[in-house]
Amino acid sequence: MKLATINNQTRDGQLVVVNRQGTQAVKVPQVAETLQQALDNWEQAAPQLNTIYQHLNEGGVNDAFDLDMNQIMAPLPRGLQFLDGSAYLAHVERVRKARGAEMPPSFKEDPLMYQAVSDGFLAANQDIEVVSEDYGIDFEAEAAVITSDVPMHVSPEEAGQYIQLICILNDVSLRNLIPAELGKGFGFLQSKPRTALSPFFVTPDELGQAWQDHKIHLPMRTWYNGEWFGEPNCGVDMQFNFAELIAHAAKTRPLAAGCIIGSGTIANHDMAKGSTCLAEKRVLEVIEHGEASTPFMRFGDTVKIQITNDEGEDIFGTIEQKVVKYGQ
């Protein structure tokens, strides 16, 4: 099924079930007012929502309405937790190679992960507000899963059963602020502003055969200022699948329902597939030419991110954003 949140002038919005084409929706207050409420009671809520979804696709819901994408909020406008991994080692290897560093062997066994901003997510068409271009503004096309309650110390073999929804996202990064923050030895803070979530969260069955081994086996397509930028396949070169990332996150603590687990920047070893962030394109330029020639984003620049299936259907809805100067 496919779920979204529409603006009802509250912080958490109104949960709606969306048809497969992403054109019609229906409110479901009899099941849950918000997506977080549904996730908190997922075992009971999911079957009811799925029944409504089936009826909506069959045209059997009287109070369905045409979906206005301008009214769409992030499906979880504010979340309990967002843990972002770095599961694509092709990206990690290139970044380290550009600065003359080897990738530690442990990276192949122990995932990288940090705790990102979760108290507010941007809508898929919401502007990226930044104070200064000097911060090194970048987009990062990623996939993510949303969990139900996950017990502490869950095994990778068991963790997959807690994946309830899937989305794509734009993990905005301020690259020029990262080195100083990491140099403190305490992780990201100012360099990681709010992330944009896709318009729709979908259940794994919506991906059909493209969802295997807890990975999305479809290309992540990105356009920058209207031009093709990359389309690496999410299921290729993913060192740690989502079940393994969940197990890593839950090693010493349980995860509450609604936890978002990000994949990190999608990257393939096949460089012909392009990139999903400017930083990677820049490090490839450094590796090949000794210096980067591609600038980071400037005010007015745009990014478009989507995943379509083999039939051309836009599964998660499209992320389309513009960078603007904060306060103007």
* pLDDT digit string, tens, across residues 274-301: 999 999 999 989 888 989 999 999 999 9
pLDDT band at 59 (very low <50, low <70, confident <90, very high): very high
Count the neighbouring beta carbons within 10 Å of the beta carbon of residue 313. 12
Mean pLDDT of 207-228: 98
To the nearest 10°, report the CA torsion of 170, 233, 115, 14: 50
Q: How confident is the model at residue 141 (pLDDT cuts 50, 70, 90)?
A: very high
pLDDT of 90 > 90? The answer is no
Architecture per CATH, 74-325: Alpha-Beta Complex (3.90)
User: What integer best gives the mean pLDDT of the chain?
Assistant: 96
pLDDT tens digit sequence for 157-208:
999 999 999 999 999 999 999 999 989 999 899 999 999 999 999 999 999 9
The whole-number average pLDDT for the span 45-62 is: 96
Alpha-carbon distance of 153 to 228, in angstroms, equals 41
Given a cut of 70, whether residue 99 has pLDDT beyond it is no
The token pair that represents 195 in the structure block: 């992330």
Which residues have C-beta within 8 Å of that of residue 9, sequence separation ≥ 6? none
One-letter amino acid at 195 equals T
CATH 3.90.850.10 placement within the chain = 74-325
| N- to C-terminal Cα separation, the chain | 39
The band of 98, judged by pLDDT with boundaries at 50, 70 and 90, is low
Token duo for residue 105 = 């062997």
User: In the chain, pLDDT over 90 holds for what percent of residues?
Assistant: 89
With H, G, I as helix, E, B as strand and everything else as coil, classify residue 298.
coil
Extract the tokens encoding 267. 């990257």
Is residue 245 within 8 Å of residue 144, measured between CB atoms?
Answer: no
pTM here is 0.96
